[in-house]
Chain A
């Protein structure tokens, strides 16, 4: 776990509490920028879906006034959002064209806070929104599992519901423990080497990434840890070469959800004959995140993603876990909704 993230979380809370008496608080966003916001913020616009899930677990749905006009997010209409928030489908939408937020549609929502994904404080959208509309922007930049948990604190401050945020973190830890209570005692020799396959097939997760944390907590070892090339190892999203992958010889290949490819293609496809001597392929150990919405590692559903991966890595150790019941219980505790029936608990 990253000590830096814990320190950042504490600093964030200290800053928040120090001025909480006035309704306006100063918090540090994920890029280390100090942002003055109202606590609670009552007209929040979410330009990313992962943080929205976190907010719905903690805050008041009525305080969300607009969402990013995103097909990925719209697809989630079939998910829990409309059950938690009856007005979900009526929310205003803000379009993003060529990576730039449409300031007019954003202004129409009259927000008092915008939450968006950014990787640098110089992000053009942050500057445009803050300088043109004078609206504070909270930048989200998730690089580790700790960052996912820290996001709950952030939403607690934004919604002025720190107690509920503490509860949500507790739920996340409890469900993570279902996995880590088992995997923490697995000796190094029994931890499979895992190659994480993003949608670009030869693109993977470096050792300094949230997926690396997920693999380790699930009882595996990121195969990139054994790369002889330190540059590739340390990159967030290195693109490897097939010969390099054969040399690394992972025991398991874990695919992020891929609309164009299935594990069966890797195991028997004509285009993947060069993969046949990799242990994972020889032993039929190629798995896929089957539902990217449900098993989203960068949202409060991270404990479910963790369990999903761990069950594939160590099926014998988790044979007594009822995944469907775990998913349902988790959703009831987190959002008060049964899954997959989508009935209010």
Chain B
């Protein structure tokens, strides 16, 4: 985070950045130009904090979904969350501009997850395989609806939709952090506090029942919490892939599959990874690179290395 605060396209000496932060914390007067204050406190810091929030939320949501589904290929988007959010954003961007993009994306991401859960639930039971298939179906439905919008709109609106779909932290602001923070914190806090129960769920429904746990109840709780955490950040920054899939894997490979350690480590490592990747996205080239591209380019080789050097990716 400190490194990220010191680096940027607007050149400010590291010593000046540190002095400005200290003066600001002490509420002391400074003789630095006002633009220095703006760059540090209105451009870099919101972007760093938003990156941390996104990385932590997606990683924790990914870890929770992987635990519930007992499947290493699951990401936070497995129940149609990203497809619903993309449809909601496209709807607001191109068809109904009177609706805020963020609210529309959030609403439809939760509708998609809720719909998948409803389809998969039968006679009070939600089998994992049904949930997985329902997620695939709901994703397909919202992807089709998104395609219809993309076909119907003009080139300019299409450009906005594509830009949103790529995901970016470039438009970070304090107001966006404030709007995403409550739901993200709530979702992450629930998963954090109940994290040991993921260890039981990961063993299977029968095993969970045998120790007196209601697997259906906790599956629902974790799905809602993970969806809230992921949707709140996706609605603000767009769809950023790879983080929610790979960060939990990496942690699992290094520290083992115990969710009591995995969840807090996902919060810290996910946040740090996202901030690091965003530094490269914003200063690595002469122009802004979509952060999702960098997450993949940086994360994939490291993931491949860990995969080759551990047995079954840490699931055994």
Contacts and interface: CB of A to CB of B under 8 A. Distances in A.
A34 interface: no
Contacts of A70: 154
Interface in A162-210: 198-203
Interface stretch (A20-28, A104-112, A272-280, A300-308): A272-280
Given A246-B43, A274-B43, A200 B151 contact: no
Contacts of B176: 271
Given A199-B160, A238-B287, A243 B39 contact: yes
Contact of A231 (B9, B34, B286): B286
B8 interface: yes
A247 B38 contact: no
Nearest to B37: A277
Interface in B41-60: 42-44, 46
B126 to A, nearest CB: 35
B106 to A, nearest CB: 16
A247 B43 CA distance: 12
Contact of B286 (A72, A201, A229): A229
B171 A202 contact: yes
Interface in B144-162: 147, 151-157, 159-160
B97 interface: yes
Contacts of B192: none
A244 B11 CA distance: 9
A260 interface: yes
A8 interface: no
B288 interface: yes
A132 interface: no
B4 interface: no
A201 B171 contact: yes
B287 to A, nearest CB: 4
B156 A199 contact: yes
B287 A232 contact: yes
Q: Is the interface of B mostly helix, strand, loop or mixed?
A: helix
Interface in B170-191: 170-171, 173-176
Interface residues of B, number: 39
Nearest to B101: A260
B288 A239 contact: yes
Contact of B43 (A199, A227, A242): A242
Contact of A276 (B42, B92, B154, B156): B42
Contacts of A259: 93, 97, 157
A273 B173 contact: yes
B27 interface: no
Nearest to A257: B156
Interface string A196-230: 00111111000000000000000000000001011
Nearest to B92: A260
Contact of B34 (A203, A272, A277): A277
B287 A242 contact: no
B287 A231 contact: yes
Interface in A227-256: 227, 229-232, 235, 238-244, 246-247, 256
Interface in B117-157: 147, 151-157
Of B34, B154, B285, most A-chain CB atoms within 10 Å: B154
B282 A241 contact: yes
Interface residues of A, number: 39
A199 B43 CA distance: 20
A70 B152 CA distance: 7
Contact of B38 (A227, A241, A277): A277
A97 interface: yes
Contacts of A86: none
Contacts of A241: 9, 170, 282-283, 287-288
Contact of B9 (A98, A243, A272): A243
A316 interface: no
A231 B288 CA distance: 12
B9 A273 contact: no
Contacts of B101: 260
A2 interface: no
A208 B154 CA distance: 24
A131 interface: no
Contacts of B43: 242-243, 246, 274
A247 B101 CA distance: 29
Interface string A260-288: 10000000001111101100000000000
Contacts of A238: 286-287
A218 B19 CA distance: 43
Contacts of A201: 171
A225 to B, nearest CB: 14
Given A203-B159, A203-B163, 20 more contacts: A70-B154, A72-B156, A97-B151, A98-B151, A200-B160, A227-B286, A231-B287, A232-B287, A238-B286, A239-B170, A241-B9, A241-B283, A244-B9, A244-B10, A247-B11, A260-B97, A274-B39, A274-B43, A274-B46, A277-B35
27 contacts: A71-B152, A71-B154, A72-B153, A97-B151, A98-B151, A202-B171, A202-B288, A203-B163, A231-B285, A238-B286, A241-B170, A242-B43, A243-B9, A243-B39, A244-B9, A246-B35, A247-B10, A256-B156, A259-B157, A260-B93, A270-B175, A271-B173, A271-B175, A274-B39, A274-B42, A274-B173, A277-B38
5 shortest A-B CB distances, which residue pairs? A229-B286, A72-B154, A270-B175, A243-B9, A274-B42
